[in-house]
Structure 1
Amino acid sequence: MNAAEPLKASDLERFCDYLYQRTGMTYGESKRYYIERRVADRMRATGEARFGDYFARLRSEPAELEAMINAFTVNETYFYREDHQLRCLSRSILPAVAATKGPGDKIRIWSLPCSTGEEPYSIAIWLLENWPMVDAYNVEIVGSDIDTEALEAARAGRYGERALSRLPADVVDRYFEQAGEGDREIISDLKESVLFSPANLIEGSTLSGHGQFEVIFCRNVLIYFDDAARARAIDNLFTALKPGGYICLGHTESMSRITDRFRACRFPDAVVYQRPEAPS
């Protein structure tokens, strides 16, 4: 397919339906140019000349579905994004969680989606810089995403000036090494402190193997879902959160518009949502 051979309306519709069923992302006629460009790229990469043949490959080959999903994900992020929630984490959320723990107990934090790693690494850096009790507990930070290429970039931990622009210069110097071409790379100790793994928000089976967490950051992804996909994602996140645990959404996202299963917690720095404690 090329620019002179646009997708038929029926082909566009079944492609969008398939992508939605597998990812929860909603696309349609209004995004035709965006869709066609990415489909054309993958058809060229696979050597398929007809959309019908390519679509059959897409449905039958997990590796091709992975490549297509990677082509559609949005990885717009940077360090210390929405840092009011990081302040809330160290000042309010973690002290509340730690009050239920003993010294050395595990506290698990999940960044989902984690994109290219800026958000989970931000959590690690912020806690080292701002939570005095960080060494008193076994804090485990996990970053997950549906985009496998983004996960590889996260594991590499190499970032340019724009991604680092919100970090104080002394913080950059402490946690990043020069990597050439103006880039910086996360120091190895910090890189090893964050675990990365694939996960799909709307497929509970890809989340269940991660266990449960005290804190989940799930920011700025639900805006790409419709109501049904948002409800599926939130149900899966509810299961992944320990009773009494907290979830942080993006600043334009509201849990009350999706479900009443969580309790809104209005802390001084941010509004977050808590899974109620299990009945005694």
Structure 2
Amino acid sequence: EAAHVFSSALPLFFGCGTPAVPPQTGRVVNGEDARPHSWPWQISLQVKHGSRYHHTCGGTLIAPRWVLTAGHCIWPGDVYRVVLGEHDMSRQEGTEQVRDVLRIVVHPSWDIDHVADGNDLALLKLDKSPVMNDSVALACLPPDGEILPHGTACYISGWGNLYTHGPMPDKLQQALLPVVEHSVCSRSDWWGINVKKTMICAGGDDVSGCNGDSGGPLNCLGQDGRWFVQGVTSFVSSRVCNEVKKPTVFTRTSAFAEWLSQVTEPNNDDHTKNLTPC
């Protein structure tokens, strides 16, 4: 039993969650520019419109050829690519690596018409592994079933709106979002029954949830000094993105550890064909 618990706590790959450039971890309320490449597992998911690609969602590099994003970011028939090593979208910085998406595996229980049911995840297989360096690195995933304590300091990252209905930034943003435990987040005057136990809430005071992207990571520092992606951004209040008692809601990655490892297992192409592709 002890051996099983220990093995389940291991990340998918060693050498994860340790950025060469440490993130800025100040308590900035309304978000800030991230330190360039301090979240090296953050990717830009881009969709093809005509002959050009446009940023549509965030995502996380969790294995050399696998990116984790939200199910609601994926639409049947659309063509996607992944940009890694990105920071400032307004210019070429020389750190970017572009990869085509070879296969898309949406969680089989995801339903766009029932967002509050959860399972808002998709895995993207890249055509080839990126080169790992100071700008591109793997995220750690938490052990199966891990629940973070109320008030744990985590950081959302992405190229989301700077404020409600505001402009999209060029540079990667981050914002501090403390975890809100399920017993609080599911109160009737908070999110109520819309929040399931497979989700994790963070924020909900005057901290901005705008700065993240759909599909992007909730980054939380582990006790061992590594960063773990504990959530995938799923939904926020439709009125304003920093509404009191309406924290940002994420798909809790520790609730899907088995599915994630199953799909991303090396040489598992036959298995992924049996899941729901888009």
Normalised to the residue count of structure 2, the TM-score between the two structures is: 0.27
* Larger relative contact order (Cα-Cα within 8 Å, sequence gap ≥ 6): 2
Q: Who wins on radius of gyration, i.e. which is larger?
A: 1
Which protein has the bigger strand share?
2
Which protein has the bigger helix share?
1
